Amino acid sequence: MNNVLIFAFLFFIGSCLGWCMEVFFRRFFSKANPERKWINPGFLSGPYLPLYGFGLWGMYAVSALSSVAMTSSKALDVVIILVIMAVVMTIIEYIAGIIFIRGMHVKLWDYTKEKGNIQGIICPKFSVIWGMLGCVYYFLINPYVVGWVYWLSRHLAFSFFIGMFFGVFAIDLWYSLNISGKVRQFAQEKDIVVKYEELKDYLAQQREELEEKKHFLLVFKTEQPLSRQLEKYSEHMELLKKQAEKLKQVKENIKAFGDEVKTELEERKEELMEDHRHE
């Protein structure tokens, strides 16, 4: 069977399943979503995440190494495969992140608060998570994926539906790139990097305040022009930045006052001890 068709098939499955996984993770486990809202993740509008499409194809390709004896130990070979999976997924995540930051002035995710992060795009914590997902894939999912690929080879008519998927995907990509182009222009004018998830969350809050109709997929669809919403978003983020700076200054002042009081108390204690020795 054509390798291009296999890639297209795995990209289709991985993108859709990855989107489902992200939706449930953000709804029930993400600390960034304390309100436990349903959030449409990613850059595109539809129910698919290309990162996971490329990821599934990468893990499928790496799993093929199981047929090669890399060492004298089968267990060690499996460990090596799992490490390679984690590295491959981290590389894919980094490439995707850097493309959007440098090309679009948009940050789709932000790991700046995570230890050991690189440019806020990748970090050890999520590399470990990718490794754990790779472990789940290798032992539980890969046999099914191999079976799906075999099934596709015997039912090539299904490629019609894969073609339909990529048709919808292409339209969605054009629509999303059109929006991101406006966001990019705005970011360049303001000399900032727009955090996509923050922007989507802000637009959702605006719709709630204005009692507009909610849009789970078309998150950028609002009654006001996008340019106006971006200006309001910029003003909102600038206000939050100033509030954070004021809060930081207050904490520093409190700390300085506490240190000053502590120093005075220690000096007073020493004076009392000195007076007591003289008595």
Q: Average pLDDT, stretch 74-78? A: 90
Element (H, E) at 198: helix 196-209
Q: Average pLDDT, stretch 70-78? A: 87
Q: Average pLDDT, stretch 208-231? A: 74
pLDDT of 276 reads 67
pLDDT of 3 reads 85
pLDDT of 70 reads 81
- In angstroms and rounded to an integer, the radius of gyration of the C-alpha atoms of the chain is 26
pLDDT of 1 reads 64
Comparing 160 with 227, the larger pLDDT belongs to 160
Q: Average pLDDT, stretch 146-160? A: 91
Q: Average pLDDT, stretch 117-145? A: 93
Q: Tens of pLDDT along 256-265?
A: 888 888 888 8
Q: Among residues 204, 200, 192, 196, which one has the least CA distance to residue 234? A: 192
Q: Average pLDDT, stretch 197-207? A: 80
Share of residues in the chain with pLDDT > 90 (%): 41
Q: Tens of pLDDT along 15-43?
A: 999 999 999 988 888 877 778 888 888 88
pLDDT of 188 reads 84
Average pLDDT score, the chain: 86
45 burial (CB, 10 Å; 0-12 / 13-18 / 19+) is buried
pLDDT of 116 reads 92
CA distance 20 to 12: 13
pLDDT of 278 reads 62
Element (H, E) at 172: helix 159-190
pLDDT of 131 reads 93
Instruction: Please write down the HEC assignment for all residues of 74-126.
Output: HHHHHHHHHHHHHHHHHHHHHHHHHHHHHHHCEECCCCCCCCCCECCCECHHH
Q: Which of 24-33, 75-84, 162-171, 208-217 has the lowest mean pLDDT?
A: 208-217
Q: Taking 90 as the threshold, does the pLDDT of residue 166 lie above it? A: yes
> Would you state the structure tokens that stand for residue 243, as one six-digit string?
């509030």
Comparing 128 with 196, the larger pLDDT belongs to 128
Share of residues in the chain with pLDDT > 70 (%): 96
Q: Tens of pLDDT along 46-66?
A: 999 999 999 999 999 999 888
Comparing 93 with 227, the larger pLDDT belongs to 93
Q: Looking at this protein, which amino acid is placed at residue 256? A: A
Q: Taking 70 as the threshold, does the pLDDT of residue 210 lie above it? A: no
pLDDT of 212 reads 66
pLDDT of 163 reads 93
Q: Which of 13-27, 83-97, 110-124, 203-217 has the lowest mean pLDDT?
A: 203-217
Q: Tens of pLDDT along 82-98?
A: 999 999 999 999 999 99
